[in-house]
């Protein structure tokens, strides 16, 4: 069930900080509310970063192409 804010947590100097941006979807695997920045789509479904990594590694039929696409997207966001 989606909450109004993103529930993804990031580790920062021994603490965890919740993203808190407005949620747009629920992760297709764990159901956590995620924002557009924390959401990664694969196979037509939204995933949080953790579930996306698991999905691509173990169950995605298109994992090689999607992994390359995600790295390109991450590099573009860093620039």
pLDDT at residue 73, as a whole number: 62
Domain spans of the chain? 9-78
Cα 44 vs. chain centroid, distance in angstroms?
A: 13
pLDDT at residue 15, as a whole number: 85
pLDDT at residue 11, as a whole number: 83
3-class state of residue 7 by DSSP: coil
Is 39 within 8 Å of 47 (Cβ atoms)?
yes
Is 32 within 8 Å of 61 (Cβ atoms)?
no
pLDDT at residue 25, as a whole number: 95
pLDDT at residue 47, as a whole number: 95
User: Which segments of the chain have a pLDDT < 50?
Assistant: 66
Phi-psi region of 49 (alpha: psi -120 to 50; beta: other; left: phi over 0): alpha
pLDDT at residue 40, as a whole number: 93
pLDDT at residue 14, as a whole number: 77
């Amino acid at each position: 069930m989606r909450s109004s804010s993103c529930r993804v947590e990031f580790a920062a100097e021994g603490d965890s900080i919740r993203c808190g941006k407005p949620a747009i979807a629920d992760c297709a695997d764990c159901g956590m509310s995620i924002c557009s920045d924390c959401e990664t789509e694969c196979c037509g479904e939204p995933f949080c970063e953790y579930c996306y990594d698991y999905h691509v590694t173990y169950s995605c039929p298109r994992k090689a192409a999607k992994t390359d696409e995600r790295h390109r997207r991450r590099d573009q966001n860093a620039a």
